[in-house]
Amino acid sequence: MIVFKGVGLVYPNGVHALSDIDLELGRGEFVFLVGGTGQGKSSLLKCIYREAEPTTGEVDIDGIPLRGIAPGQIPFLRRKVGVVFQDFKLLQQKTVWENVAYALQVTGASSRDVMRRVPRMLELVGIAHKSKMFPYELSGGEQQRTAIARSLVNNPLILLCDEPTGNLDPETSNEIMALLARINAKGTTVVVATHNQAVVDRMRRRVVRLTNGRIAHDQERGHYHIGLG
Amino acid sequence: MAVTAVGTVAVSVVLLGTILFLHESFAIFMKQVVGQVTIAAYLKDNSPKAMVDGTMRVMKSDPRVQSVTFVSKKQAMDGLRDRLRGQMNLNLINTNPLPDAIMIHPADPNDAAAIAKRLQGLPSVATVNYRSDVTQKLLRVESVLGAVGLGVVGLLLAATALLIYNTIRLTVFARRSEIHIMQLVGATHWTVRWPFVFEGILTGVAGAVIGIALLEFAYRTFAPKLAIDLPFLPFNFAVVPVGTIALELLGTGALIGMLASMLSVSRYLRST
C-alpha cells in the first residue's frame, strides 16, 4: 500500500529531515511512528500525502509512484489519503456537519451523496449529536472526532494521524485510539505518529522508530521504547 | 473586499471613462469635419467642353474619388448670391468673375492631397483648393491624442490591476490556513482559486459601478452646460455613445479584477 525506497528529504533551508528510508506498509496495517521531536515522523507522513517531495528515492502509494506526479493530480491523491492533525485543522466558521461535508463537496460529490454520507460518518465517530455546533464550541476530543470524520468521509485507503492525541487528556486519547482501531478493522491502513507511550504500549501494533531521520527500529507488536535499550 | 481596491478601481474608471468619452466625442467631431473635405478644382476660362468632360471622366474613374460635381460659373454666382443675401447685393455687379469648377469628394480624406496633385496636372484645371492645412493638422492631433490617451489608459489599468493583485494577495495570506485545509481534503487548484477570482471580479465590478455612477452624475451636470457655454470645443456631447462606454468600463473592471486575482492566487498556489 505504501512503499518507501531509499527516500531522503532535505528541506529548502538545508535541514536533512529523512535519510535512506526503506519502508513497506501493507493494506489494512496499523503502524505507530515513534521518535523524539524533530526525528522525522511528520516529514515521513508529509511524503505520503505529498506535502513534501522527497529529494531522493521513491514513494509509491497504492502502486502509483509519486515522483513526477503532476501538480493537478495531487488533490486526487489526497482524496485517497485522509490526514488528522494534533491541532485538528477544522474550519472555524463551519459547523461540524459542514466541516465534514466540505471534504465531500470539494471533490464534486452530489448533494444527495453528501446528505447520505455525512450523517453516517458523524455516527461512526460518535459526534452526530453535535453536528450543528461550531468547532470552538467543542472539546478537544470532539474536535478530533470531527477531524477524523472529515478525513474518512471520502473513503480513503490510508488514514495518516500526526500526533492525534497530543492535545487530549488520557481518557479522551484512549477513546480516539479505540476509534482509530475500529476504522482500521474496517480495512483502512492507519499510520499514527505519536509520543503517547501509554497508547503504543497498550495497543501492541507495529512500531517504527525514527532517529535522526532514519529508521532505527521496526518491530511487529512493538512497544514505545523499542531500540532505546 | 478592500475598500481601497474598490476606491482605486472607481478612480481609474472615472479617469478611463473621461478619456474614452473625450476620445469618442473628438472622433465623432473629426469624422464630421474631415468627412466634409471637398477639393475644388477651378477651371481655366474658356476651356473647351470636351476638355472639361475629360477632366470629369478622369476624376470619376479614380477609385479614391467618391463623387464629382460640375459647378458652372452661373451656379457658383447663384450660390454666392444666396449665401450673401441681405449682406451684399451682387446684382450690382454686371460681370461674373467666378470660374467654372469641379467639386470632388474623396472617399478617404487622407487621399485628398494625392487627388489634388493629380488634378493640378490636368490641362483644364487652373487652381486647386482644399483645406489641406486644417485637415492635416486635425488628423495629426487625433493620432497624437489617441497615442497619449492609450498610454495613460494603459498605465491606469496596470496600476489598478496591481492594486487588486495585492489586495487579493493579502486576502489569500489571511486565509492561508483555510486554503491549506482545502488542499488537504483534496480540493483542486480551481476549487481553491474560484472564490478569490470571484472576489476579484466583484472588486472590479463594484469599483466600476461607483466610477460609472460618478461619471453619469458629472455627465448629467456638466455636459449640457459645457455644450452651451463652450460651443467652440470640438466635443459633441449629444451623440457620444455613453451607454456603450459604460458597458466597456464595466467589462474592463470585471476583466481586470478577474485577471489580477487569478494571477495573485495562482502565484500563491504555485509556492505551496
What is the count of structural domains for chain B? 2
**pLDDT per residue of chain B (272 residues) written in tens, 0 to 9:** 578 788 888 888 888 888 888 777 777 777 777 667 788 888 888 788 888 888 888 888 889 888 888 888 888 888 887 877 777 776 777 777 888 888 888 888 778 888 888 888 888 888 888 766 676 777 788 788 778 888 887 888 888 888 888 888 888 888 888 888 888 988 898 888 988 899 889 989 999 999 999 988 988 888 777 777 766 565 556 667 778 888 988 998 999 889 988 998 888 888 77
| Residue A229 pLDDT | 63
Contact at CB, A106 and B186, closer than 8 angstroms: yes
- Asked if residue B44 and residue B29 are part of one domain, the reply reads no
- Asked if residue B162 and residue B261 are part of one domain, the reply reads yes
| Residue B110 pLDDT | 76
Boundary of a domain, candidates B109, B130, B151: B130
With an 8 Å Cβ cutoff, the interface of chain B facing chain A consists of 177-178, 180-189, 191
Chain A environment of B178 (Cβ under 8 Å): 91
Residue A56 CA: distances (Å) to CA of A60, B132, B235: 13, 77, 70
- Express each pLDDT in B85-111 by its tens digit: 777 776 777 777 888 888 888 888 778
How far is the C-alpha of B183 from the C-alpha of A86, rounded, in Å?
17
Q: How far is A207 from chain B, CA to nearest CA, in Å? A: 26
Boundary of a domain, candidates B108, B130, B152: B130
Grid coordinates standing for B146?
489617441
Determine the Cα angle at B193 with ends A111 and B204, to 5°: 110
- Asked if residue B57 and residue B12 are part of one domain, the reply reads no
- Asked if residue B104 and residue B190 are part of one domain, the reply reads no
- Asked if residue B258 and residue B211 are part of one domain, the reply reads yes
Contacts A–B by Cβ distance under 8 A? 40
Q: How far is A124 from chain B, CA to nearest CA, in Å? A: 19
Q: How far is A29 from chain B, CA to nearest CA, in Å? A: 22
Backbone angles phi, psi at B197, to 5 degrees: -65, -40
B58-88 as b/e, with b when 16 or more CB fall inside 10 Å?
bbeebeebeebeebeeeebbeeeeeeeeeee
Neighbours of A8 (CB within 10 A): 16
- Phi-psi domain of A116 (left: phi exceeds 0; alpha: psi -120 through 50; beta: other): alpha
Residue type, B129: N
Boundary of a domain, candidates B102, B130, B158: B130
> Which of B179, B180, B182, B184 should be substituted to probe chain A, the one whose Cβ sees the most A Cβ atoms within 10 Å?
B184
Question: What CATH number is attached to the domain comprising B122?
Answer: 3.30.70.3040
Q: Which domain covers residue B7, as residue numbers?
A: 2-33+136-271
How far is the C-alpha of B42 from the C-alpha of B55, rounded, in Å?
11
Of B181, B186, B189, the CB nearest to A91: B181
What does R_g of chain A's alpha carbons equal in angstroms? 17
Give, rounded to a whole angstrom, the gap between the first and last alpha carbons of chain A.
31
Q: Three-state SS string across A55-73, please?
A: CEEEEEECCEECCCCCHHH
CB of A46 less than 8 A from some CB of B: no
- Asked if residue B45 and residue B109 are part of one domain, the reply reads yes
- Asked if residue B21 and residue B62 are part of one domain, the reply reads no
| Residue B49 pLDDT | 83
- Asked if residue B247 and residue B150 are part of one domain, the reply reads yes
- Asked if residue B102 and residue B6 are part of one domain, the reply reads no
Contact at CB, B186 and A83, closer than 8 angstroms: no
What interface predicted TM-score (ipTM) does this complex get?
0.85
Q: How far is A92 from chain B, CA to nearest CA, in Å? A: 9
| Residue B233 pLDDT | 60
- Asked if residue B144 and residue B252 are part of one domain, the reply reads yes
| Residue A20 pLDDT | 95
Prediction pTM value? 0.69
- Asked if residue B145 and residue B113 are part of one domain, the reply reads no
- Asked if residue B223 and residue B153 are part of one domain, the reply reads yes
CB of A83 less than 8 A from some CB of B: yes
Run means of pLDDT, 10 residues per run, chain A, 229 residues: 95 94 95 93 95 94 89 90 92 94 90 94 93 95 93 92 90 90 93 92 94 93 80
Query: Which residues are CB-neighbours of B199 under 8 A, at least 6 positions away?
Result: B1, B168, B171, B261
The answer to whether A179 and A126 are in contact (CB under 8 A) is yes
